Amino acid sequence: MITQKIHRSVVAVLALTFSVSAIAAEKIVIKGSDTLGAKLVPQLAEEFKAQKAKDGVEVIFEIAAEGSSTGIAAVIDGTADIGMASRDAKSTEISKGMVKGVKMESITIAKDGIAVIVNVANPLEGISSREVEKIFTGSLVSWSSLNGKSGDVSVYTRNTSSGTYGAFQKLAMRNRDYASSSQKMAGNEQIASEVGTNANGIGYVGLAYLGTKGTKALPVDGVSPEKPDYSYSRPLYYYVDGNKEIAPIVQEFIDFTLSEGGQEIVKGVHFIGIK
Amino acid sequence: MSDSNRYDLSSKQPTFFGLTKDTALKGLFGGNAFISIIVLGLITLFLFKEGAGFFGQYRESLTLYRKSGLEYVNLMRDEQNAHASLTQFLNNIQSDRSTYYSEQGMAFSDVKKELSALDGFIYDFEDLGYELESYVQEMNELVMNARDAYQSNEDYKIFKANLEREGRMDEAANVVIAPVDLATYVAQLRAGEDTFLALSQSLVSGAKELILTIPSVEGEAFQAELDRFKNVVGSFFYEVPSFEKRIREWDRSLEVGLMEGVTSFIFGREWITGSAIQDWYGVIPLLGGSLTVAGIAMFFAVPLGVGAAIYVNQVANPKEQAFIKPYIEFISAIPSVVIGFFGIAIFGEFVRFLTNHESLSWISFFPISERLNAFTAGALLALMAIPTIFTLAEDALNNVPKAYKEASSAMGATRLQTILRIMVPTALSGIISAVLLGFGRVIGETMVVLLCAGNRIALPDFTKGLGAAFEPVHTMTGIIAQELGEVEHGSIHYRALFMIGLTLFCLSLLINYVAQKIVIKYQISRG
């Protein structure tokens, strides 16, 4: 008897949950860049979920962060509602979309700043963009004319396959080649730790890595990296299919991202807000 | 009982699917060997298949480089770079002076004042090249835009072909392909040749005038440097006509040779990828880096490994043997990523700390500022090569017939004489092949060099002598590990990495082949 009762109640509970989810659960599939998918979008999703829960709507997120290319491909294939990207869609990708009747539309949701960092022992308090270009292209090899300390400049960069590598080249070096003496590091942490221990080091990192022990960020042309008019920043996008009608819940999420609350979260994870 | 008696030839063995136990076992082992060979063959085939397309693609890329006029722009840039290196020369003098005055205890503001006279001259000298630089930059933009338009047009052609293949003719017809004629852009480029030559002339005449106003500086050494600068500028003036000649003689229609892809890979001194201008795939800096690191590793590993082998085999008592042998062989059980991690966290820092020590300051290239360099990686790799060398060298010594040693002792030779004159020479072929195999181990190692070599894609500056060992380098194995994960499948960059892999493959094949040859050829006769 008792077991039968339990059985019945379990069935009832299950039926209840199923009926509730059938009424109000909505799903958003987001794929793409790991720059966005590591922290920002999951946090936005949590906050959005909490807000919608108050209205009695349950939102289920499916987030996969495997690189910008996968995000754009997913929008083209129609397997994601939103594609996250830290770069512009390439012309080959746009044409591939057109073959499938997908119009790639980008929405800028934040900016990713690339900060120039040096060792704390470096007396430099700021740097000009022309000097940055000279250092990273290798035409300025000694610190002495900049800060009066002797020593050869040690330049640390990301490796060639990183998106930041290309972005910095475009933003700071007028597309010129990196100095052959530059050292290609595996990631932001490694650049920060090398600069942190080498008094002659200079490198660039994402804003989340500012404040690594032994390093300091240099304002470029007098603008510090967190400011919206900082020059070394690249836009981060949501990509959607412009030919398809966007589901209301997805539109709401996009609006939430661009709202004041959403942009607060953007700043909280060390990106630059768009407002 | 009869079925368990295997000497009973008359009785029938039990069979399973028509196989007796013996044939089944034979088939099993033979099959395993066969599968291994097939798999290895497939891997080799795959390597060649993926790498093979490289030379053709590279030649195509070089052809576009010429046809689009980028090569022409680079010729102009050569002159600009020559001027920039003169400015560099002056800046270096200023750096030296600044260091000198700071060491005299002068405040930075005073140092600045001291340098200001020459500073003014340097700024003027640098500004002379400014117009030339912006002209080159402008032409570069022009040509790059043309090339990019050309390339995206090629993409559209593929797009159109794809649509047609899917049978969507209407849409395919809508794809507009506006042919980009690179020749018109190059014509535009060449129309500006006179402008460039005029700029070049005004640079020279400006510099000739400016050089007369060069201020003199205090200190004989600095003045001597400045005088040297005048000579260098003189040789720049002498060089300019040859720059101009090459620009005038540049010919777009010149065919890129069939072997150009091959030669610019093998002899190319630049490995530049992800460039907006032109990618270069030259193996020299990577090969040089690999060999430098391996050389440093062998410098430490050979004496230590061979020495330990001789000691253990000839001198040590059984108790020592029982301790040393497994201990050294245990090193090879440490995963290479752990050794690399140790290198980053502790050893690199330790090397830098040591070079900063005062008692070593008499060495000209100390202190070093990079903790991750060829020396750090090489020293750690030595650790990994020692077990290989030790084990194989010890085996070689073991293989020397006992009679040799006994005969030597009977003749009244001391133990040292026996070791140096009899044992080691007899086992030399084995020892050399042990060293070669150790070298092969080192050159193929990836994790340690990726983490600890510093990853600078340039040949070390060998003019610094031993100081070159403390410069960061990049290696063939390291670049594959670092870049292969993210390159576009089938692209030229992807194939270039496979070519690097093939080069490594051939290198280790050669090493193993030579090692085996040596062993066989100089084998001691047992007669």
**Number of helices (H), then strands (E), in chain B:** 20, 2
Question: pLDDT category, A19, cuts 50, 70, 90?
Answer: very low
Which has more pLDDT, A87 or B374?
Answer: B374
Answer yes or no: do B276 and A184 touch at CB < 8 A: no
pLDDT, residue A1, reads: 45
DSSP string, B72-110: HHHHHHHHHHHHHHHHHHHHHHHHHHHHHHHHTT--HHH
Answer yes or no: do A174 and B137 touch at CB < 8 A: yes
Q: Evaluate whether A75 touches A97 at the Cβ level (below 8 Å).
A: yes
- Positive or negative: CA dihedral A208, A213, A215, A219: positive
User: pLDDT tens, B319-340?
Assistant: 999 999 999 999 888 999 999 9
Answer yes or no: do B111 and A148 touch at CB < 8 A: yes
Q: Evaluate whether B327 touches B316 at the Cβ level (below 8 Å).
A: no
CA B65 to chain centre: 24
DSSP string, B261-306: HHHHHHS---EE-S-SS--EE-SHHHHHHHHHHHHHHHHHHHHHHH
Per-window interface: B 82-111 vs A, CB < 8 A: 84, 87-88, 91-92, 94-95, 98-99, 102, 108, 111
Q: Which residues pair with A60 in a beta bridge?
A: A27
Angle between helices A248-258 and A40-54 (to 10 degrees): 120
pLDDT, residue B332, reads: 87
Could you give the CA distance from residue B44 to residue B114 in angstroms, rounded to a whole number?
A: 65
Average pLDDT across chain A, whole number = 84
Distance from CA of A182 to the nearest CA of B (A): 6
B265-269 CB contacts, 8 Å cutoff, 24+ apart: B265/B54, B265/B55, B265/B58, B265/B496, B265/B499, B269/B459
Is residue B512 less than 8 Å (CB to CB) from chain A? no
Per-window interface: B 208-267 vs A, CB < 8 A: none
Facing A183 at nearest CB: one of B163, B472, B487: B472
Question: pLDDT category, A70, cuts 50, 70, 90?
Answer: confident
- Contacting residues for B79 by C-beta, under 8 A, at least 6 apart: B132, B200, B240, B243, B244
pLDDT, residue A9, reads: 52
Place of tokens 């963009």: A129
3-state secondary structure of B134: helix
Is residue B455 less than 8 Å (CB to CB) from chain A? yes
pLDDT, residue B527, reads: 41
pLDDT, residue A269, reads: 86
**Pairing, β A58-65 against β A25-32:** parallel
Cis peptide before B367 (omega within 30 of 0): yes
Residue A107 burial (C-beta neighbours within 10 Å; 0-12, 13-18, 19+): middle
B130-135 CB contacts, 8 Å cutoff, 24+ apart: B131/B199, B131/B202, B131/B203, B132/B79, B132/B80, B132/B83, B132/B196, B132/B199, B132/B200, B132/B203, B133/B80, B135/B76, B135/B192, B135/B195, B135/B196, B135/B199
SS (H, E, C) B5-43: CCCCCCCCCCCECCECHHHHHHHHHHHHHHHHHHHHHHH
Cα→Cα distances B178→B61, B142, B173, B181, B183, Å = 21, 18, 13, 9, 15
- Positive or negative: CA dihedral A76, A79, A83, A85: negative
User: Which residue in B294, B82, B71, B316 sits closest to B186, CA to CA?
Assistant: B71
Question: pLDDT category, A29, cuts 50, 70, 90?
Answer: very high
Cα→Cα distances B211→B87, B216, B246, B320, Å = 12, 11, 26, 73
DSSP B369: S
**Distance from the first to the final alpha carbon of chain B:** 48
For the segment A96-101, the average pLDDT, to the nearest whole number, is 81
Which residues in chain A are closer than 8 Å to B276, comparing Cβ atoms? 169-170, 175-176
3-state secondary structure of B409: helix
Facing B155 at nearest CB: one of A91, A148, A175: A91
Which residues in chain A are closer than 8 Å to B450, comparing Cβ atoms? 186
Cα→Cα distances A180→A136, B61, B141, B463, Å = 9, 21, 22, 17
pLDDT, residue B525, reads: 55
Could you give the CA distance from residue B224 to residue B93 in angstroms, rounded to a whole number?
A: 10
User: pLDDT tens, A141-187?
Assistant: 888 777 767 778 999 998 876 778 888 988 898 888 898 889 988 78
SS (H, E, C) chain A: CHHHHHHHHHHHHHHHHHHHHHHHEEEEEEEECHHHHCCHHHHHHHHHHHHHHHCCCEEEEEEEECCHHHHHHHHHHCCCCEEEECCCCCHHHHHHHHHCCCCEEEEEEEEEEEEEEEECCCCCCCECHHHHHHHHHCCCCECHHHHCCCCECEEEEECCCCHHHHHHHHHHCCCCCCCCCCEEECCHHHHHHHHHHCCCEEEEEEHHHCCCCCEEEECECCECCCCCCCCCEEEEEEEEECCCCCCHHHHHHHHHHHCHHHHHHHHHCCCECCC
Facing B458 at nearest CB: one of A139, A141, A180: A180
Question: pLDDT category, A107, cuts 50, 70, 90?
Answer: very high
Could you give the CA distance from residue B119 to residue B116 in angstroms, rounded to a whole number?
A: 5
Range in A6-20, A192-206, B455-469 the model is least confident about: A6-20
Facing A160 at nearest CB: one of B102, B137, B483: B483
Residue B504: how many CB atoms within 10 A of its CB?
A: 21
User: pLDDT tens, A117-141?
Assistant: 999 998 888 899 888 988 998 888 8
- pTM score: 0.78
ipTM: 0.72
For the segment A251-262, the average pLDDT, to the nearest whole number, is 92
Is residue B159 less than 8 Å (CB to CB) from chain A? yes
Per-window interface: B 369-408 vs A, CB < 8 A: 369-372
Residue positions counted in chain B: 527
Which residues in chain B are closer than 8 Å to A139, comparing Cβ atoms? 84, 87-88
The token duo for B146 is: 């043309």
Answer yes or no: do B456 and A92 touch at CB < 8 A: no
Answer yes or no: do B369 and A200 touch at CB < 8 A: yes
Facing B277 at nearest CB: one of A177, A182, A199: A177
* b/e B450-470 (16+ beta carbons within 10 angstroms → b): bbbbbbbbbbbeeeeeebbbb
pLDDT, residue A95, reads: 78
Answer yes or no: do A140 and B91 touch at CB < 8 A: yes
Residue A16 has pLDDT above 50, yes or no: no
3-state secondary structure of B473: strand
Question: pLDDT category, A21, cuts 50, 70, 90?
Answer: very low
Q: Evaluate whether A198 touches B371 at the Cβ level (below 8 Å).
A: yes
Facing B159 at nearest CB: one of A95, A177, A182: A95
pLDDT, residue B260, reads: 85
For the segment A21-29, the average pLDDT, to the nearest whole number, is 72
SS (H, E, C) B180-209: CCHHHHHHHHHHCHHHHHHHHHHHHHHHHH
pLDDT, residue A252, reads: 92
* Nearest-by-CA chain A residue for B349: A197
Which residues in chain A are closer than 8 Å to B455, comparing Cβ atoms? 159, 183-185
Question: pLDDT category, A251, cuts 50, 70, 90?
Answer: very high
Question: pLDDT category, A26, cuts 50, 70, 90?
Answer: confident
The token duo for B111 is: 């140092």
Residue B209: how many CB atoms within 10 A of its CB?
A: 10
Is residue B156 less than 8 Å (CB to CB) from chain A? yes
pLDDT tens series, chain B, 527 aa: 445 566 666 666 777 777 888 888 888 999 999 999 999 999 989 888 888 889 989 998 999 899 888 999 989 988 888 888 888 888 888 878 877 887 787 777 777 777 787 888 888 888 888 888 888 888 888 888 888 888 888 888 888 888 888 887 887 777 777 777 888 888 888 888 888 899 999 988 988 888 888 888 878 888 888 888 888 888 888 888 888 898 888 888 888 888 888 999 999 998 988 887 888 999 999 999 999 999 999 999 999 999 999 999 999 999 999 999 999 999 888 999 999 999 988 999 899 888 888 887 788 788 888 889 999 999 999 999 999 999 999 999 998 988 999 999 999 999 999 999 999 989 998 999 999 999 999 999 999 999 999 999 999 888 888 888 999 999 999 999 888 877 777 788 889 999 999 999 999 999 999 998 888 887 765 44
